């Protein structure tokens, strides 16, 4: 029993960390800019495909490919923010939803055109394959790596938001945008920067997800619901909330799949409904305005 529990917690945490890396950028951009960006998963998907292409077509190593994807998507999202999203900040939710659905459609079609409709795989480096011994138990090395990346990213983001100048500006703008503008924060530049960071994080998530969730042209729609759930439960703009929500959902979903396979996704959707009815602003979101 305890072995089963341990593996649920371990696998659930690994899954949760992929969710965290994939969703945290979305949470911060939505919290800061009030944009419902359903296309965040499309950025992750593009990031995943950059990793695939860098490795299979240009023979780059896994880590180099991840870095390439992060840089590429940071640049691409900065561009897209200026061209498209900046025009949507004041639009209603509906326009944001529809424009980002448009981005998903176009991105998926582009990837089918370039790579075909089949799912993509990558060859992980030797030391991430196989298992590692921890406390007398053999655990998959890649999951351990993902967990380390997730916790590392969480720590780095917390530190960055608490301790850096940009972080302070970000907190100020999320709390009260008008006040932030009044005291001289360049909110426009901050938006582009944060959006670009969100794109970079989603690319990292997409790269990590290839081996965990799979990567195909349907990725953006298939997992969209999951990212949105994580963000909504965590509370917009809250890194801690997104982290907590990822852990809860990752572990509950993994546990549900191991213990009650027949229930499918029922458990997490029920959990989502319950949590949102209890706290519509999310676990760590600010109280309703």
Partner 1 sequence: MASRRGLSGARWHPLEALPWLFALAVPFLFPGYAGLGVQVLIAVLFVLSLDLVLGYAGIVTLGHAAFFGVGAYTVGLLSVRAGWNEPISGLVFAALAAAALGWAVGRLILRFHGLAVLMLTLAAALLLQEAGNSAAAITGGHDGLTGITIAPILGRFENDLFGMHYYAYSLVVVFVAFVVLRRIVHSPFGRSLVGIRENRDRMTALGADVVGRLVRAHTFGAALAGVAGGLYAQYNAFVTLNLLGFERSGTALVMLVLGGTGRLYGAIVGVPLYMLLEDRLAKISPGFWSFGIGLLLIVVVLFFRGGLVASMQALVRRPHGGGHDAGVVEKIRGQREPER
Stretch that binds partner 1, among 56-64, 131-139, 162-170, 223-231 (CB under 8 A): 223-231
Q: DSSP secondary structure string, 217-255?
A: TTHHHHTHHHHHHHHHHH-TT-HHHHHHHHHHHHHHHHH
Per-residue contact track with partner 1, 115 to 154, x per CB under 8 A?
----------------------------------------
Assess 82 for contact with partner 1 (CB under 8 A).
no
Q: Which of 101, 128, 168, 212 binds partner 1 (CB under 8 A)?
A: 101
Q: Which of 102, 125, 130, 152 binds partner 1 (CB under 8 A)?
A: 102
Contacts of 81 (CB under 8 A, 6+ apart): 191, 192, 195, 196
Cite the DSSP H helix spans in the chain: 2-33, 40-58, 62-83, 93-115, 141-163, 165-175, 177-182, 187-209, 219-222, 224-234, 239-259, 266-278
Assess 183 for contact with partner 1 (CB under 8 A).
no
User: What are the two backbone dihedrals, phi and then psi, of residue 217, each rounded to the nearest 5 degrees?
Assistant: -65, -10
Q: Which of 4, 6, 109, 134 binds partner 1 (CB under 8 A)?
A: 109
- Measured over the CA atoms of residue 57, residue 61, residue 66 and residue 67, the dihedral's sign is negative
Assess 188 for contact with partner 1 (CB under 8 A).
no
Stretch that binds partner 1, among 2-10, 98-106, 205-213, 246-254 (CB under 8 A): 98-106
**Least gap, CB of 282 to partner 1 (angstroms):** 8
Q: Which of 8, 51, 76, 103 binds partner 1 (CB under 8 A)?
A: 103
Assess 67 for contact with partner 1 (CB under 8 A).
no
Q: Which of 26, 30, 44, 249 binds partner 1 (CB under 8 A)?
A: 30
d(CA 25, CA 238): 10
Assess 248 for contact with partner 1 (CB under 8 A).
no
**Least gap, CB of 257 to partner 1 (angstroms):** 13
CA proximity to 103, closest of 15, 196, 36? 36
CB 122 within 8 A of CB 210: yes
Stretch that binds partner 1, among 2-10, 103-111, 126-134, 149-157 (CB under 8 A): 103-111
CA proximity to 119, closest of 222, 219, 224, 223? 219
CA proximity to 24, closest of 153, 145, 148? 153
Stretch that binds partner 1, among 7-15, 64-72, 130-138, 256-264 (CB under 8 A): 256-264
Number of chain positions touching partner 1 (CB under 8 A):
53
- For residue 120, list its beta bridge partners: 215
Assess 259 for contact with partner 1 (CB under 8 A).
no
Assess 266 for contact with partner 1 (CB under 8 A).
yes
Residue written as tokens 């180099």?
64
> Residue numbers of the site for partner 1 (CB under 8 A)?
30, 34, 36, 84, 87-88, 90-95, 97-99, 101-110, 112-113, 174-177, 221, 224-225, 228-229, 232, 236, 262-266, 269-270, 272-273, 276-277, 280-281, 288-289
């Amino acid at each position: 029993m305890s072995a089963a529990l341990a593996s649920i917690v371990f696998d659930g945490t690994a899954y949760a960390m992929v969710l965290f890396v994939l969703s945290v950028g979305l949470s911060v951009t939505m919290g800061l800019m009030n944009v419902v960006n359903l296309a965040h998963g499309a950025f992750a998907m593009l990031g995943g495909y950059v990793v695939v292409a860098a490795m299979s077509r240009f023979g780059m190593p896994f880590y180099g490919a991840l870095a390439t994807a992060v840089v590429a998507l940071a640049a691409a999202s900065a561009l897209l923010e200026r061209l498209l999203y900046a025009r949507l900040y004041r639009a209603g939710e509906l326009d944001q939803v529809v424009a980002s659905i448009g981005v998903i459609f176009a991105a998926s079609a582009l990837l089918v055109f370039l790579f075909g409709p089949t799912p993509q795989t990558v060859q992980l480096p030797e030391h991430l394959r196989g298992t590692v011994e921890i406390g007398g138990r053999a655990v998959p090395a890649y999951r351990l790596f993902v967990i380390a990346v997730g916790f590392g990213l969480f720590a780095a983001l917390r530190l960055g938001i608490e301790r850096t100048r940009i972080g302070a500006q970000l907190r100020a703008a999320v709390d009260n945008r008008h006040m932030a503008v009044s005291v001289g924060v360049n909110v426009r530049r901050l938006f582009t920067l944060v959006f670009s960071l969100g794109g970079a994080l989603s690319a990292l998530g997409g790269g990590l997800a290839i081996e965990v969730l799979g990567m195909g042209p349907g990725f953006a729609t298939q997992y969209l619901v999951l990212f949105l759930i994580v963000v909504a439960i965590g509370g917009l703009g809250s890194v801690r909330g997104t982290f907590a929500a990822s852990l809860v959902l990752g572990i509950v979903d993994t546990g549900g799949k191991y213990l009650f396979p027949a229930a499918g996704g029922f458990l997490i959707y029920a959990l989502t409904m319950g949590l949102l009815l209890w706290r519509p602003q999310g676990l760590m979101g600010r109280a309703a305005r």
